[in-house]
Amino acid sequence: MTDMTTPSDAQAKRNVLVLVGAQAVLGAQMPMIFTIAGLAGQGLAPNACLATLPITCMVVGSMLTATPISAFMQKHGRRAGFVAGAVGGAIGAAVGALGLYVGSFTLFCLGALLSGIYMSAQGFYRFAAADTASDAFRPKAISWVMAGGLLSAVLGPQLVKTTADAMVVPFLGTYLAVIVLNVVGMFLFFGLSIPKPRPPVAGAATGRTRGQMIRTPRIAVAMICATVSYALMNLVMTSSPLAVVGCGFTKGNAADIVTAHVLAMYAPSFFTGHLIARFGTERIVALGLVILASAGAVALTGFELTNFFAAMMLLGLGWNFGFIGATTMLAQEPTAVEKGRLQGLNDLVVFGGVTLASLSSGGLMNCAGGSVQHGWQTVNLAMLPLITLAGAALVWLALRPKETR
């Protein structure tokens, strides 16, 4: 078995190729679901304020399964965990399709909850890219895997355009396409070559506890910034299709805006790793927060298609710098025995924040005012407190003596 303490970048690059493919094929289901789940939920929900509940259920499913999947991967390896995630995605899409077919909002939400299993597993692609990479290659490996989302950004929304009205029941064809993506995509992982973690030897050091790690300043700040970056992206993206259609534009316009947004999320990944290596993680994370704030400012200036496109592209770019930067900060911290423990804890916290953002999104959008425009403004104004929190955490870390970080 290859020693995980002396990673080969040749092996790491092969693994990156597999993970890029998985991000492209399997990852296409995420923009598909985010584009249509709120619109489908609006038609099924007994109350318009619950329109985005299916997306919230998916994020809750991701949050609840983050720690178990991390522990499963720690015991059985990355490949088994990623295949399990794809199986969960297929089952979730099947249940969601059934919910659409019979007109059951409860079943539709249950399917979304099960889809969270895939969403959780996908979150570990970035950590898997770092497993066999050297310190120098690690930020680039993470960035390149995230760049695989470029293909999913094109494939997913285009599949929505093709399948949304392909059947008598709206969006049913889209969920059937998601099933196919999961079944086909899981075979990619047979090309993955990441050694299973070695079982702990009796009496060997077990590393820091979760409590000790979360009290480490650099880990705490990385988790705060990752959570804020992802939560804000989810808060605004979840409401954007509702806002676009509510302002008089088409579902096709909404899909195009989601495409632009997801492209902006992943296209910078080709150089984010180089920027991190040159300027440091903290500066790139700070830049990401500034760009997220600018996305909210642009959204508040008007309700034309150009405003939606510009705001959502800035939102994607800010997420890229903030989330990849924070992920790199976190990946530099744990020892081999701490890795699974910390990654599961991190994704539990991140998706806990994303859950709250997703749950808030529908209420802010549909129930915070008397119009779609007012609801969209409220969603974007809600970004400010969280951006302030993450910025303050970065300043606090920068002001601490280097040896205590």
Residue range 324-354, pLDDT digits in tens: 899 888 877 666 677 767 877 887 888 788 8
Q: Is residue 315 part of a domain?
A: yes
The number of CA neighbours under 13 Å toward the Cβ of 369 is: 13
Is residue 194 within 8 Å of residue 77, measured between CB atoms? yes
pLDDT (tens digit per residue) in 117-174: 999 899 888 788 888 887 778 778 887 887 787 888 788 888 988 898 889 898 999 9
Q: Is residue 202 part of a domain?
A: no
**Interacting residues of 395 by C-beta distance below 8 A, sequence separation 6+:** none
d(C-alpha 25, C-alpha 152), whole Å: 6
Per-residue pLDDT at 405: 54
The CB density around residue 42, as the number of other CB atoms within 10 Å, is 19
Find the length of the chain. 405
Highest mean pLDDT among 15-19, 72-76, 261-265, 364-368: 15-19
d(C-alpha 337, C-alpha 342), whole Å: 10
Per-residue pLDDT at 379: 92
d(C-alpha 43, C-alpha 325), whole Å: 38
What one-character-per-residue DSSP string does 109-157 give?
Answer: HHHHHHHHHHHHHHTTHHHHHHHT--TTTHHHHHHHHHHTHHHHHHHHH
CA-based nearest residue to 235, from 66, 384, 44: 384
What b-and-e string marks burial along 208-247, b requiring 16 or more CB atoms within 10 Å of the CB? beeeebeebebbbbbbbbbbbbbbbbbbbbbbbbbbbbbb
Q: Is residue 360 part of a domain?
A: yes
Per-residue pLDDT at 25: 92
Q: Mean pLDDT over residues 42-54, rounded?
A: 82
Local confidence band at 36 (pLDDT 50, 70, 90 cut-offs): confident
CA–CA–CA angle 180, 81, 150 (5° rounding): 55
pLDDT higher than 90, residue 269:
no
Q: Kindly tell me the burial class for residue 199, based on how many C-beta atoms sit within 10 Å of its own C-beta (0-12, 13-18, 19 or more).
A: exposed
Q: Is residue 371 part of a domain?
A: yes
What tokens appear for 164 in the block? Answer: 């949304």
The amino acid sitting at 239 is S
What residue has token string 């029941």? 169
The shares of helix, strand and coil residues in the chain, as percent rounded to the nearest 5, are 80, 0, 20
Is residue 360 within 8 Å of residue 305, measured between CB atoms? no
First to last CA, the chain: 34
Q: Is residue 200 part of a domain?
A: no
Number of domains in the chain: 1
Local confidence band at 111 (pLDDT 50, 70, 90 cut-offs): very high
What tokens appear for 178 in the block? Answer: 């998601």
Domain that holds residue 253: 9-195+209-404
Is residue 321 within 8 Å of residue 268, measured between CB atoms? yes
Per-residue pLDDT at 7: 46
Q: How many angstroms separate the Cα of 395 from the Cα of each of 282, 322, 398?
A: 9, 15, 5
The CB density around residue 107, as the number of other CB atoms within 10 Å, is 18
d(C-alpha 320, C-alpha 134), whole Å: 22
Highest mean pLDDT among 121-130, 153-162, 202-211, 220-229: 220-229
Element counts in the chain: helices (H) and strands (E): 18, 0
pLDDT higher than 60, residue 400:
yes
Q: Mean pLDDT over residues 234-241, rounded?
A: 88
Report the mean per-residue pLDDT for the chain: 86
Low-confidence winner among 40-54, 106-120, 189-203 (lowest mean pLDDT) = 189-203
pLDDT higher than 50, residue 402:
yes
Assign residue 45 the CATH number of its domain. Answer: 1.20.1250.20
